Amino acid sequence: MALFIVRRLIGLVVVLFAITVLTFLIFFATPGVDPTRSLAGRNPTPETVAAVRHQFGLDRSKPEQYLLMMKRLFISRDLVSYGNQALKVVPAITAATPVTFSLVIGAAVIWILLSILTGVLAVVLKGSIWDPLLMIVALIGISMPVFWLGEVANLITQDRLHDTFLFSWVPPLGYTPLTENPWQWFLHLIIPWLTLAALYVGFYARVLRANLLDVANEDFVRTARAKGLSERRILTRHMLRTSMITFVSLFGLDFAVLVGGGALLTEVVFGLPGVGLLTYRSLQSLDLPVIMATVIYGAFFITIANAVVDILYARLDPRIRPT
Amino acid sequence: MAEFAYEPEPASVGLAPGESIREFAGKSPWRLAGRRLARNRVAMAALALFVLIVAVSFAAPLYAKHIAHTDPFANNLNGTTVVDGKTVEVLQQGGGPLKLGETPIGPTWHANYFLGADNQGRDVMARVLYGGRASLLIGIGSAVLACLAALFLALLAGYFRGPVDVFLSRLMDLIWAFPIFLLAISLATVLLTAPDGLQWGPVHVDPSSLWIPTLIIALVYVPYVYRPVRGQVLSVREKEYVEAAVAQGASSLRLMFSEILPNVLTTVIVMLPLMIATTILTEAALSFLSIGVQPPQASWGTIIDDGQDLLYSRPWVAIAPGIMIVLTVLSLNVLGDGVRDALDPRAKLRLKG
């Protein structure tokens, strides 16, 4: 087990290093693209370009540039935005992280509860019209672009039905920190949570239903029936528990991807100042250092989360440990 | 189902519940799958819907020219249109709730400006159709490219194994380690910083070329197809019929393309509709973030982006392309399920939507 962890950690370090190199190459060494173009403003004079190149160290060799960039990103943490040199990239990301976590954790709670409910209902109601109906709704949920669903939600809750009793409680778009006012925090996030969760409810409900139906033919379920257990107990204690294995491993991945940048579109539509919105703002001005930093942050988060999940899994299930 | 339980199964395509072996004896696996798909009414309805959307989108120039009589790519700030016999301006002064500025005309539900106009006075209906053309081209193009590239690389890796496999698989793992979305964003941003387009040797790519989003999206999805296909190539390579071909002195190329390829193709075909659904959603997201399709081209994603400013005054600009995306992706997801059931009734292969 200790050997497995050590190997997994060495692999992790190698992947993290490769991620920084690849990201650096994409941003600063793509053939045909001059990174100074975007940082010297519109129609720059050759002198400005040269000055900016020198300031950001872009007149040095590529390996030197890489080391300089990584030093400013991880050690001195003073990498600044091209467009707005007062904006320090690393503190900006740190400040935005709680917003992203608030959004993703709340949505995750909703999607897990709703998808278990939907998946189990579909299995219980199999054979009636409700099962295909629920699955069609789930499929529609999967097929919607999240940013579009968010806009429709805004249209309804902020404008068309905002003056009715239904949605008059919805505050204007934006964010209030949990530490400042928990109730406002909750009110600001409830519509974004539901929007972000919609896609995952559909997907998880479908996976859970398929899994439950697979498990239904297993020997241990037959044994449980033969023992005379009630259907409810078989479903919750035996079938659902086994199906949770797939469910949990999927969840780990999706959660990491969302925190690592996947929630960007939801943050943009609802004006939540998380890491995604930070990336989006820099996209508008093609501010390469900020985008590069958020990409590396996201990829790091996902890779580290995957490693942690792997190690936990290996601890729980000896079969997974590779030799 | 039980009465067929003891009958042998055809080797590559398993029997679906309720099918008899006699019905299928002597037919090729592809024909069997085709027949099974044709009997699946839900999947056929989805296919019909998808074909309809494709046909309508590719008829966009005809619609713009002969029905709407507008050019959906030209500004029409001072234009007029006729509603109920009255001539009205396309951009109306102070039409919004605040009576300030200009508001484009809303849906007329007539041929001209059926869904109203956008901020530039352009016909939204015609733009949605044109946008569909771009979205579908990019979605289908990038999914097909990703599948072909992944298939080729997986054949190389699975056939040669050893260092080739290690190199390709590590490369794919690296791409896989990136959040798809962030990788696509990085590539798109960097390529867009070249305002005059890109020059790679003799190839010039215009910044508004649809090839840029197509290639970016194709690249980020290659590992998703590569992984399962490589696994299959590795196992097919050990089959007796491959050994027999080796014994006959078949060349590497022959082994890869006529012995192994046909046997891993089903996996790719099952994945293709679901991949297209995914790539269409990715394209829409990138275009919504204004780093996908660039003006003067339009796609469903860029139209939703345009509609953001008009959301409360003229919601149809943003709603209509979204409905098209939902219908397209939904039809592809349903069709994908049908194809999976038809080709491989027992498969558990699933692609995240």
Q: What is the pLDDT of residues B108-152, one digit of tens each?
A: 777 777 777 777 778 888 889 999 999 999 999 999 999 999 999
How many residues make up chain A in this entry?
323
Cis-peptide, bond into residue B273, ω within 30° of zero: no
The neighbouring-strand residues paired with B80 are: B89
B289 touching A, CB under 8 A?
A: yes
Q: What is the pLDDT of residue A42?
A: 56
Q: Does residue B192 register a pLDDT over 80? A: no
Mutation to test the B interface, candidates A143, A157, A283, A287, most B Cβ within 10 Å:
A143
Q: What does the pLDDT look like over B26-79, one tens digit per residue?
A: 677 788 888 888 888 889 999 999 999 999 999 888 888 888 777 777 777 777
Q: In this structure, what are the phi and psi dihedrals at residue B114, rounded to the nearest 5 degrees?
A: -55, -45
Q: What is the pLDDT of residue B3?
A: 30
pLDDT band of residue A111 (cuts 50, 70, 90) is very high
What residues 226-265 of chain A have any CB closer than 8 A to a CB of chain B? 257, 260-262, 264-265
d(CA B280, CA B139): 5
CA distances from A259 to A100, A282, B173 (A): 6, 18, 20
What residues 128-187 of chain B have any CB closer than 8 A to a CB of chain A? 173-174, 177-179, 181-183, 185-187
* Closest residue in chain A to residue B276, using alpha carbons only: A143
Least Cα separation, residue A180 to chain B (angstroms): 30
Query: Token pair 């003056």 is at which residue?
Result: A163
Q: What is the pLDDT of residue A323?
A: 46
Between chains, do A32 and B198 touch, taking CB under 8 Å as contact? yes
Please give the torsion angle defined by the CA atoms of residues B149, B153, B154 and B156, in that order, rounded to the nearest 10 degrees.
140
Across A51-65, A95-109, B18-32, B186-200, least confident range: B18-32
Q: Which residues of A touch B185 (CB under 8 A)?
A: 261, 264, 279, 283, 291, 295
Top-ranked range on mean pLDDT: pick from A89-93, A178-182, A248-252, B138-142: B138-142
Q: Which class for B50: exposed (0-12), middle (13-18), buried (19 or more C-beta within 10 A)? A: buried
Q: Which residue has the higher pLDDT, B279 or A252?
A: B279
pLDDT band of residue A35 (cuts 50, 70, 90) is low
Q: Does residue B352 register a pLDDT over 60? A: no
CA distances from B310 to A138, A149, B138, B198 (A): 29, 16, 26, 34
Across A28-32, B206-210, B252-256, B264-268, least confident range: A28-32
d(CA B30, CA B12): 10
* Closest residue in chain A to residue B97, using alpha carbons only: A159
Longest dimension (CA), chain A: 85
Q: What's the angle, vertex CA A257, arms to CA A252 and CA A259, rounded to 5?
A: 95
Q: Which residue has the higher pLDDT, B11 or A125?
A: A125
CB B297 within 8 A of CB B134: yes
Residue from B134, B164, B166 nearest B321 by CA: B134
Work out the average pLDDT over B146-159.
93
Q: How is residue B123 annotated by DSSP? A: B
Residue from B346, B267, B337 nearest B15 by CA: B346
Between chains, do B322 and A151 touch, taking CB under 8 Å as contact? yes
Q: Which of A143, A149, A286 sits opposite B189 (nearest CB)?
A: A286
Q: Which residue has the higher pLDDT, B299 or A71?
A: B299
